[in-house]
Amino acid sequence: MKIAVLGTGSVGVTIGNKLVQLGHEVKMGSRSATHEKGLAWAKAAGNKASLGTFLDAASFGELAFNVTSGSGSLPALQAAAPGLEGKLVIDVSNPLDFSKGFPPTLFTGNTDSLGEQAQRALPASKVVKALNTVTAAVMVDAKRVAGGDHTALICGNDAAAKAQVTSILKDWFGWVDVLDLGDISKSRGIESYLALWVRLYGALGTADFNIKIMR
């Protein structure tokens, strides 16, 4: 499959590497097709990896992962929008504001979310919020924590798109328990969890953790 990864940070590199290892063709998207870090990733990842602009990557991919930093997420999606029409967009971004130091706050407040903003910016795309509540290494290797005995949270407006994301998480990344919270407005709750996540990270001294929903 041809897949776009929008963003050249550590999450983009981790997801991009995993997708290439699985045999997919991956084009990483950046503001510039000559982005130094993106070019270095593409060279290291092999002949199934390449770099382009956000629009280049979006046009290339059959689906896209949005792994841009929170403050840069909407501009990136707006740039990519013509190439994302009708496609699944897995939104992994978080609205973290570090302007006042650590721990960060959420610049969306509690009456909006980046997931909702992404869907509004991409009305012709199918946005599904997923994977933003765990560190990058756990995103692509769920068994890294408790043998995989923990929960991935997703939400979105399109049932078929959420079913596809559930399959991706289980078949590609080793997740066992995927919980659908409902429509894209549920991103408010999923993103708000990051306020607790950063404090758990401080208390545990590791990012290798997650929650399990007990039924």
User: Is residue 212 one of the residues assigned to a domain?
Assistant: no
Specify the pLDDT at position 88. Answer: 98
Query: How far, in Å, CA of 120 to CA of 116, rounded?
Result: 6
Specify the pLDDT at position 118. Answer: 98
Cis peptide before 103 (omega within 30 of 0): yes
pLDDT > 90 in the chain, percent: 92
Cis peptide before 123 (omega within 30 of 0): no
* Mean residue pLDDT across the chain: 96
User: Is residue 210 one of the residues assigned to a domain?
Assistant: no
Specify the pLDDT at position 169. Answer: 98
The stretch 169-182 carries a mean pLDDT of 98
Per the structure block, which two tokens stand in for 34?
A: 């000559």
**184 neighbors 157 (Cβ within 8 angstroms):** yes
User: Does the reported pTM lie above 0.85?
Assistant: yes
Specify the pLDDT at position 131. Answer: 98
Specify the pLDDT at position 102. Answer: 84
pLDDT digits (tens, 9 = 90+) for 71-86: 999 999 999 999 999 9
The stretch 125-131 carries a mean pLDDT of 98
Query: 65 has which bridge partners?
Result: 5, 90
pLDDT band at 146 (very low <50, low <70, confident <90, very high): very high
Query: How far, in Å, CA of 19 to CA of 10, rounded?
Result: 14
Residues in the chain: 215
pLDDT digits (tens, 9 = 90+) for 7-59: 999 999 999 999 999 999 999 999 999 999 999 999 999 999 999 999 999 99
The stretch 108-134 carries a mean pLDDT of 96
> In which domain, by residue range, is 55 found?
2-204
pLDDT at residue 143 greater than cutoff 90: yes
pLDDT at residue 154 greater than cutoff 90: yes
Residue 26, SS3?
Answer: strand
User: Is residue 138 one of the residues assigned to a domain?
Assistant: yes
pLDDT band at 104 (very low <50, low <70, confident <90, very high): confident
Number of domains in the chain: 1
User: Is residue 20 one of the residues assigned to a domain?
Assistant: yes
Burial class for 23, CB neighbours closer than 10 Å (0-12, 13-18, 19+): exposed
The CATH number given to whatever domain includes residue 115 is 3.40.50.720
Sign of CA dihedral 102, 111, 167, 49: negative
pLDDT band at 105 (very low <50, low <70, confident <90, very high): confident
User: Is residue 214 one of the residues assigned to a domain?
Assistant: no
pLDDT band at 100 (very low <50, low <70, confident <90, very high): confident
CA 156 to chain centre: 13
Residues near 208 by beta carbon (within 8 Å), at least 6 away in sequence:
135, 137, 138, 144, 145
User: Is residue 118 one of the residues assigned to a domain?
Assistant: yes
Query: How far, in Å, CA of 193 to CA of 40, rounded?
Result: 33
